[in-house]
Amino acid sequence: MTMESSIANPDMTEHGPHHDHKPSGFMARWVLTTNHKDIGSLYLLFSFAMFLTGGAMAMVIRAELFQPGLQLIEPNFFNQMTTVHGLIMVFGAVMPAFVGLANWMLPVMIGAPDMALPRMNNWSFWILPFAFTMMLMSLFMEGGGPNFGWTFYAPLSTKYSPDSTAVFVFAVHLMGISSIMGAINVIVTIVNLRAPGMTMMKLPLFVWTWLITAFLLIAVMPVLAGAVTMVLTDKYFGTSFFDAAGGGDPVMFQHIFWFFGHPEVYIMILPSFGIISAIVPAFSRKPLFGYASMVYATASIAGLSFLVWAHHMFTTGMPVAAELFFMYCTMLISVPTGVKVFNWVATMWRGSLTFEVPMLFAIAFIVLFTIGGFSGLMLAITPVDFQYHDTYFVVAHFHYVLVSGAIFSIMAASYYWLPKWTGVMFDEGLAKLHFWCSLISVNVLFFPMHFLGLAGMPRRIPDYALQFANVNAIVSIGGFAFGLSQLIFLVVVIKCMRGKGEKAPDKPWEGAEGLEWEMPSPAPYHTHLTPPEIK
């Protein structure tokens, strides 16, 4: 269809019979859109805006921690910064970025014309700006915004929280509704709209990992909604779910929260596994090693994620039997994760590797995510967790898996598919600069945190003992450098969006495989109007 016309005669696309039927006008094109590519772009742009917002808060945190003592901000504002930084990065940056990638790529990858529920798709995106505006506005309310940590443990969030807590609760409700609708859409699309011949075991791994992620989402986001609802009624309506005086139990909050929270951390990493499993074979010019084992490994990680929540709570005074159960289940997760890392390395083994920017990010992901995995294994060991709990070691661990893991995979995916989205090649020099600056600064930022944590520096405190001063200064410098490096990415993306750059061929990466590379770049507004043939 549009493929031939746009390549043979680019002018034809504007005036010929095959033009894209894009709605005209900002309202119709972006606000009312039901097109999966437009909604995908909206999600991606929104998540990048949130990434910069949450990043700015991280800069505030690192500026305060540059020196011991309190110099820039009040402790209560520091608490609001750590809380809202966490909430924004989890619910505003990482999750919407993956949903954006899913919107853009899933229908294209499985040969579907659009997502299965396009109107709901529009709704699930447009809830998000309102949710985050509400949450950010609560920072300016009397008494301040949420200051109880992104985990909003009771009684911090019930007894001692600011008046704006109701706004926080409703914002989380909205984010949850958005994610649940997105997840239902993904499942229905993958189950119902695959092109004929696209059997389950032929699905690209990004599709597989998203299918499993979507099931995790519909299983645990409602539990989060329940938890915030209980916080709401405890604080405002006199219930005692978490109030010991009324027969409740504050430790129960932690159980309910982490029953959501642990699957949530896999929600933020499983799509990454899919991305890396697409990029590594493309630049190794070899098929992915162990496709089926990748699928089973992803599914078993998802299953195990429901059995490990209490490893976040080793120090709450659990019986030894429970601590051992959760310790061994947690360690078990490293087996399927190890299978994945092994498969990626085996895919690269004796491949004809080239190191374009997506591949650089993918390799950095494999190395740095594995470091984060190893520190996770250390944290899983119950007796030593008593030392590491609530220290910067934990901060180092989850930033290695979320920043140099999830965020790096999103960067890799963006560079990998930018030519397909925008139709132009990105500025390779700038992109490489972005990669190397990010790689070096992310390690200067997070690696020394391991040592701070082992030496006993507690997290979420605006001040620290003098002996941590030098290392904190280095960490802060790494933080500022990492933050600035992301502005390079912004420049690269804006250049591509404005069409500045070499025209991208249909398949800009020699070894890439998949239906998305069999259509022109940029991908036409409507694709797969007739199902493609799957060999």
Partner 1 sequence: MAQTKPLVWTLSAVVVAMFGFGFALVPLYQVFCEITGLNGKTATSASVKPADYVDRNRTVTVEFITYLSPGMQWQFKPEVQTMKVHPGEIHQVNFIAHNQAGSAQVGQAVPSVSPGQAAAYLNKTECFCFNQQPLQAGERAELPLRFFVDNALPAEVKTLTLSYTLYDISASDSAG
Q: Is 194 a catalytic residue?
A: no
**Structural tokens at position 509:** 């990466």
Select which of 123, 126, 150, 153 is catalytic: 150
CB closer to partner 1, 198 vs 359? 198
CB closer to partner 1, 225 vs 395? 225
DSSP per-residue string spanning 213-265: HHHHHHHHHHHHHHHHHHHHHHHHS---SS-GGGT--HHHHHHHHHHHHHHHH
Q: How far apart are CA 423 and CA 514, in angstroms?
A: 17
Q: By C-alpha distance, which of 299, 325, 295 is closest to 310? A: 325
- The H or E element spanning position 321 is helix 320-348
CB closer to partner 1, 262 vs 450? 262
Compute the least distance from the CB of residue 55 to partner 1, in Å: 32
Compute the least distance from the CB of residue 218 to partner 1, in Å: 5
Select which of 264, 323, 356, 385 is catalytic: 264
Select which of 37, 194, 262, 434 is catalytic: 262
Q: Is 526 a catalytic residue?
A: no
Compute the least distance from the CB of residue 289 to partner 1, in Å: 33
CA within 13 Å, CB half, 443: 11
Q: Based on the number of CB atoms within 10 Å of its own CB, is 276 exposed (0-12), middle (13-18) or buried (19 or more)?
A: buried
Q: Is 434 a catalytic residue?
A: no
Q: Is 6 a catalytic residue?
A: no
Residue type, 475: V
Q: Is 153 a catalytic residue?
A: no
Q: Is 337 a catalytic residue?
A: yes
**Under the rule (CB under 8 A), what is the footprint of partner 1?**
116-117, 180, 183-184, 187-188, 191-192, 218-227, 230, 238, 240-241, 244-247, 249, 251-252, 255-256, 259-260, 317-319, 322
Residue type, 438: S
Q: Is 495 a catalytic residue?
A: no
Select which of 6, 178, 347, 521 is catalytic: 178
Compute the least distance from the CB of residue 214 to partner 1, in Å: 9
Q: How far apart are CA 516 and CA 500, in angstroms?
A: 22
Compute the least distance from the CB of residue 252 to partner 1, in Å: 5
CB closer to partner 1, 230 vs 265? 230
Select which of 36, 312, 399, 450 is catalytic: 312
Cα-based angle 519, 524, 529 (whole degrees, multiple of 5): 80
CB closer to partner 1, 22 vs 159? 159
**Structural tokens at position 352:** 């004809």
CB closer to partner 1, 176 vs 511? 176
The helix/strand/coil state of 116 is coil
Q: Is 18 a catalytic residue?
A: no
Compute the least distance from the CB of residue 246 to partner 1, in Å: 7
CB closer to partner 1, 140 vs 237? 237
Cβ–Cβ < 8 Å for 173, 134: no
Beta-ladder partners of 458: 391
Q: Is 277 a catalytic residue?
A: yes
Q: By C-alpha distance, which of 102, 88, 86, 90 is closest to 43? A: 102
Select which of 311, 389, 420, 507 is catalytic: 311
Would you say the C-alpha torsion 29, 17, 112, 289 has a positive or negative sign? negative
Compute the least distance from the CB of residue 68 to partner 1, in Å: 29
Q: Is 74 a catalytic residue?
A: no
Select which of 82, 209, 213, 277 is catalytic: 277
Q: What is the DSSP letter of 503?
A: B
Q: By C-alpha distance, which of 150, 376, 161, 364 is closest to 272? A: 364
Q: Is 340 a catalytic residue?
A: yes
Q: Is 266 a catalytic residue?
A: yes
Question: Which active-site residues does the annotation give?
Answer: 85, 114, 150, 178-179, 262, 264, 266, 277, 311-312, 337, 340, 459
